[in-house]
Amino acid sequence: MEVQEPKRRIPLVGTVEGVLTVFKHVLMKPVTVQYPEEKEYVPERFRFRIFLNLDDCVGCTLCEQVCPNKSIKMETVKRNNPRNKRMIYPDVNFGTCTVCRNCQEICPTDAIYLTHVFETSRTKNSFLYSPEELAMPEEEVKK
């Protein structure tokens, strides 16, 4: 299909039309969201913060293996869990996590999963979440 070039028209008329089109947008509502004051619409299936269910984790290290940029490391936690004899649980460094969701997809017991919590900003320098912190809600971790 051959695309058609615009027809030759009287000079300036189209230009003025363009200027008017731009001018019309003054009356439209701005699309900016003033973030901290008003919350942006976050789609239901938006995913960011990784949570860990300590009781379900079997310490299989699959999430550590699949993590593409080694954000997940296994860590020993003294905890009584009959399914996790080696007592190793994943910790996540959110400084390097790219939210690829591979850990959630590969987890055989669905112990590690992502939620739509995304407000993890803080003044702390490290974004390393220990397994216990991963199990806590975000508000408690910030304390």
Partner 1 sequence: MSLLSFTYGIFKVLGYDLATFVTFLIDSIVFLLVASVAVAGTIYFFRKYMARVQLRIGPNRVGKFGTLQLIADAFKLFGKESILPRLRDDLPYKVAPVLVFIGLLVAFSILPYGSLYYIGDIFISNSGVGIILLFAVLAIMPIGELLAGISSHNKYSLIGALRAVAKDISFEVPMMLSVLAIVVMASARTTNSLNISSVVTSELLPYGILEPLGLFVFFISMIARASYTPFDMGESESELVSGYSTEYTGMRFGLFYLGMFGTILLGSFIVSLFYLGGYNGPYSSDIGLIYLLIKAVIVVVISFTVWLAMPRIRIDKFVNFGWKYLLPISVINLVLAGFLTIYLGW
Partner 2 sequence: MSEWVELNMGPQHPSTHGVLRLKIKVEGEIVREVEPVIGYLHRNAEKLCENTFFCDNLLYFDRMDYVGAPGMEVGYLEAAEKLLGVPPPERAIWIRTIMAELSRIASHLVWLGAYGLDLGMLTPFFYAFDLREKIMTIFVEASGSRLLTNYCSIGGVYQDFNEKIVQEIEDFINIAPSKIEELNSLFVKNDIFISRTKGIGYMSKEVAIDYGVTGPMLRASGVEYDVRKAEPYLAYSKVNFEIPVSSKGDNLARFLVRIEEMRQSVKIISQAIKKLPDGPFFNPKAKKSMMIRMRGEGEVYARTEASKGEFGVYIVGDGGVKPYRVRVRSPSLKNLSVLREIGKNVMIADLVAISGTTDLVFGEIDR
Please report, in angstroms and rounded to a whole number, the separation of the first and last CA atoms in the chain: 63
The answer to whether residues 67 and 111 touch, using CB atoms and an 8 Å cutoff, is no
Q: What minimum distance in Å lies between the beta carbon of 6 and partner 1?
A: 15
102 binds, among partner 1, partner 2, none (CB under 5 to 8 A by kind): partner 2
Q: Is the dihedral of CA 33, 35, 37, 42 positive or negative?
A: positive
Q: Determine the Cα–Cα distance for residues 73 and 9; give it in Å rounded to an integer.
A: 66
What is the side-by-side strand order in the sheet with 128-129?
A: 72-76, 88-93, 128-129
Residues 10-49 that bind partner 1 (CB under 8 A): 15, 18-19, 21-23, 25-26, 28-32, 34
Binding partner of residue 99 among partner 2, partner 1, none, CB under 5 to 8 Å per kind?
Answer: partner 2
* Contact of residue 30 among partner 1, partner 2, none (CB under 5-8 Å per partner type): partner 1
Q: Between 1 and 22, name the residue whose CB sits nearer to partner 1.
A: 22
87 binds partner 1 (CB under 8 A): no
**What is the DSSP secondary structure assignment for residue 52, as one 8-state letter?**
E
Residue 99 sits in the site that holds partner 2 (CB under 8 A): yes
Chosen residue from 105, 120, 122, 142 binding partner 2 by CB under 8 A? 105
Mark the segment that binds partner 2 (CB under 8 A) among 79-87, 102-110, 123-131, 132-140: 102-110
Per the CB < 8 A criterion, the answer to whether 91 and 132 are in contact is: no
**Is position 65 an interface residue for partner 1 (rule: CB under 8 A)?**
no
> Six-digit token pair at 37?
């004051």
